[in-house]
Amino acid sequence: QKEVEQDPGPLSVPEGAIVSLNCTYSNSAFQYFMWYRQYSRKGPELLMYTYSSGNKEDGRFTAQVDKSSKYISLFIRDSQPSDSATYLCAMRPGGYQKVTFGIGTKLQVIP
C-alpha cells in the first residue's frame, strides 16, 4: 500500500462547477500538507500549503485537512478552463523530512 493514495482521474467537469480533489494517507506523522498544480509539460507549482488539521482558503481554492481520517481535499469553486491541469497532493512530517507526493489527478474543465 502506498503512503499516499490519489485517484489519477481523469476528471472532467463543466466550467463553473465545484471541483473536489482528494488524497488519503497512512502515515500519522505527516503534519504539513500541500497541493501542487502542474500544467502539461511544466514543473509543479505550489498552490496551497496547510499545517495540521483545518481549512485554508485562497481565492477560489480551499484546502481541507482531516488528520483523524487521514484525508485531505482541495476544492475549486467556479472552475475555469485555465484550471485544467494535474493536481498533486504532497505531505511531510515535521522538521526536515522528505516530501511524499501523490500520483496526481488530471482535471479538465470544459468550456
Partner 1 sequence: NAGVTQTPKFRVLKTGQSMTLLCAQDMNHEYMYWYRQDPGMGLRLIHYSVGEGTTAKGEVPDGYNVSRLKKQNFLLGLESAAPSQTSVYFCASSPPSGTRDNEQFFGPGTRLTVL
Residues that bind partner 1 (CB under 8 A): 6, 8, 32, 34, 36, 41-46, 49, 88, 95-96, 98-99, 101-104
Q: Give the burial class of 46: count Cβ atoms within 10 A of its Cβ; 0-12 exposed, 13-18 middle, 19 or more buried.
A: exposed
Q: Which residues pair with 67 in a beta bridge?
A: none
Using the minimum distance from each CB to partner 1, give the nearer residue, 102 or 109.
102
Closest separation in Å from C-beta 62 to partner 1: 18
Helix, strand or coil, per DSSP, at residue 81? helix
Identify the CA nearest to 25 among candidates 76, 107, 101. Answer: 101
Using the minimum distance from each CB to partner 1, give the nearer residue, 19 or 36.
36
Closest separation in Å from C-beta 98 to partner 1: 6
